[in-house]
């Protein structure tokens, strides 16, 4: 996504080019970009000059939406759901869930304030 942001307004980027530049498996990129396309964060164009580009300007593309699309669950902690609600079992009462809720909320708020433009 950073490569697309850097290339914004200059045409499409082929996944094969991104794969070479970033040393990421093409098959893996294809899976990632299928999800990004479904979430309307990128669009694909076919043909000789085809490839991918952002659907919105980098300044209008929240990092939160990218991470949410790629990761699914927006909670880094197994005992919290996406909204910060606790779903620990009785066996898992570690006593730090209050802190984890605050950490998760801070991470999510930070990602919502950041855009792709901030990363380039």
pTM, 2 dp: 0.79
pLDDT of residue 85: 64
Same domain, 68 and 105: yes
Same domain, 31 and 81: no
Domain residue limits at 117? 61-120
> Phi, psi at residue 63, to the nearest 5°?
-60, -35
Q: What is the pLDDT along the chain (120 residues), one digit of tens a residue?
A: 999 999 998 989 999 999 999 999 999 999 999 999 999 999 998 888 889 999 999 999 999 999 989 987 766 666 666 666 666 665 566 677 777 778 888 888 999 999 999 999
Same domain, 50 and 74: no
Total domains present in the chain: 2
81: left (phi over 0), alpha (psi -120 to 50) or beta: beta
């Amino acid at each position: 996504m950073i490569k697309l942001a850097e290339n914004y307004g200059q045409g499409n980027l082929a996944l094969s080019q991104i794969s070479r530049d970033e040393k990421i498996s093409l098959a893996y990129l294809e899976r990632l970009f299928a999800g990004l396309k479904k979430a309307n964060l990128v669009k694909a164009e076919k043909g000789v000059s085809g490839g991918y580009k952002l659907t919105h300007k980098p300044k209008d593309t929240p990092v939160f939406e990218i991470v949410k699309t790629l990761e699914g669950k927006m909670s880094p902690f197994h005992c919290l759901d996406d909204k910060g609600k606790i779903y620990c079992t009785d066996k898992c009462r570690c006593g730090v869930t209050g802190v984890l809720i605050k950490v998760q909320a801070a991470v999510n708020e930070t990602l919502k304030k950041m855009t792709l433009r901030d990363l380039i």
